[in-house]
Amino acid sequence: MLPTAEAERSYQPTERVALPNHVLTPGLVNLHTHAAMTLLRGLADDLPLMSWLKDHVWPAESRHVSAEFVYDGTLLACAEMLRGGVTCFSEMYFFPEAAARAALAAGMRAALGIIAFEFPTAYAADANDYITKGLAARDELKEEPLLSFCMAPHAPYTVSDKTFTKIVTIAEELDLPIHTHLHETKAEIEESLARHKVRPIARLGALGVLGPRLIAAHAVHLTDAEIDTLARHGASVAHCPSSNLKLASGLARVAAMTARGVNVGLGTDGAASNNRLDLLEEMRLAALLAKAVANDAQAMPAHQAIAAATLHGARALGLEAVIGSLLPGKSADLCAVSFEEPELSPCYDPASHLVYAAGRAQVSHVWVAGEIRLERGKLVGFDNRSLNNRVLLWQNKIAAETKA
């Protein structure tokens, strides 16, 4: 991006796009997702977390997740996210190299998690194997201008002290963020107290995980002292309001976090627990929910919600110099929202409408790094039919095996 006058002096336009009655925003940043889980969207709902995971999601994953599953599911996620104004997503799932290839095919920016678990899956055998494979993917793809990488230890209850320590060393060496689930449920905290005698944040603090690299996904259950700890360490939170409600995880104290200086971005989580990858929806819900939780109608006002969906997400990913706001020198990751429909009429305050009244249906144009990806609501350079056919194949396969 550059100032208009300088652009006029330095370049000949091949095309001019004028969008009267639109608002142009920075491309939205989805700070926490498991993109390929679109293929499990709506497979199991309205269930307690443990039954949802153990009886439905994990069995389906162990049957189906492969590089192909991740590629197809992530491509579907990219289609949905681009149509909703999201230009960058922070991803945590198996086969990150397949997710990376899908993001590149879609022309989207992605921060890929180098995921780590202790237990084996179709993707890797143990924590070292996950990390080795993730680092190999990074070595192969790190020069791609749209891609960046995070270390992504899954969660305190699935990753050992030893692995966390190793991950901190690698993150410092390679200058990468550390993206992990943290304090999502009360059960997670109770299990930590039983096994480690401390709450997860205290444990991760002792292991050196807390710091400006940390992206704590969910962060639903925090004491005031823990909020201060995150703020003091310059850590970020990926707030996922839909998912926190749907799994009955609880009500995150976003206004308190923001007031105490925690950098709060927004995430959709995966489509199996949301069930949409719609950051405008998360923005609205975050702004509404913060007010009731804080018992204060002034909590998370519109401009703060917009910052959470854009600049704060970019900052968490270490991409603040490149994306997250409309400033000369930053990349042209843009989202145009049409204000022409009755739903956004009349208009006294565009920021209010963006947060409280607009929906992804009003997103008309999206550019990633200056390349147009959505034009008048239609994906550009996207083979919708082929994607649709592959998704139907997965649907039939997964539905058949779920019945069996």
Q: Which residues bind a copy of itself (CB under 8 A)?
A: 38-39, 41-43, 45-49, 52, 76, 79-80, 83, 242, 244-251, 271, 274-276, 278, 281, 285, 288-289, 291-292, 294-302, 341-343, 345-349, 352-353, 356-357, 359-361, 384, 387-388, 391-392, 394-395, 398-399, 402
| Closer by beta carbon to a copy of itself, 11 or else 348 | 348
| Closer by beta carbon to a copy of itself, 97 or else 281 | 281
* Least distance from a copy of itself to the Cβ atom of residue 119, Å: 24
| Closer by beta carbon to a copy of itself, 71 or else 394 | 394
| Closer by beta carbon to a copy of itself, 169 or else 389 | 389
**Is-contact 195 163, C-beta < 8 A?**
no
Closest CA to 118 of 157, 152, 158, 169: 158
Q: Could you tell me which residues come within 8 angstroms of residue 84 by beta carbon, excluding any fewer than 6 positions away? A: 28, 277, 278, 279, 280, 360, 363
* Least distance from a copy of itself to the Cβ atom of residue 1, Å: 28
- Measured CA to CA in angstroms, residue 290 lies from 186, 294, 302 at distances of 20, 6, 11
| Closer by beta carbon to a copy of itself, 103 or else 319 | 103
- Measured CA to CA in angstroms, residue 36 lies from 15, 39, 161, 227, 384 at distances of 35, 6, 28, 31, 17
| Closer by beta carbon to a copy of itself, 77 or else 152 | 77
* Least distance from a copy of itself to the Cβ atom of residue 56, Å: 10
d(C-alpha 281, C-alpha 30), whole Å: 11
| Closer by beta carbon to a copy of itself, 41 or else 154 | 41
| Closer by beta carbon to a copy of itself, 182 or else 255 | 255
Query: What amino acid is encoded at 342 in this protein?
Result: P
* Least distance from a copy of itself to the Cβ atom of residue 379, Å: 9
* Least distance from a copy of itself to the Cβ atom of residue 173, Å: 39
d(C-alpha 272, C-alpha 181), whole Å: 16
Tokens, residue 186: 């009360």
| Closer by beta carbon to a copy of itself, 21 or else 223 | 21
Query: What amino acid is encoded at 154 in this protein?
Result: H
| Long-range Cβ contacts of 379-385 (<8 Å, 24+ apart) | 379/79, 379/82, 379/83, 381/107, 382/79, 382/106, 384/79
* Least distance from a copy of itself to the Cβ atom of residue 31, Å: 19
Tokens, residue 91: 């991803």
d(C-alpha 111, C-alpha 319), whole Å: 10
* Least distance from a copy of itself to the Cβ atom of residue 10, Å: 38
* Least distance from a copy of itself to the Cβ atom of residue 384, Å: 8
d(C-alpha 288, C-alpha 50), whole Å: 28
* Least distance from a copy of itself to the Cβ atom of residue 123, Å: 22
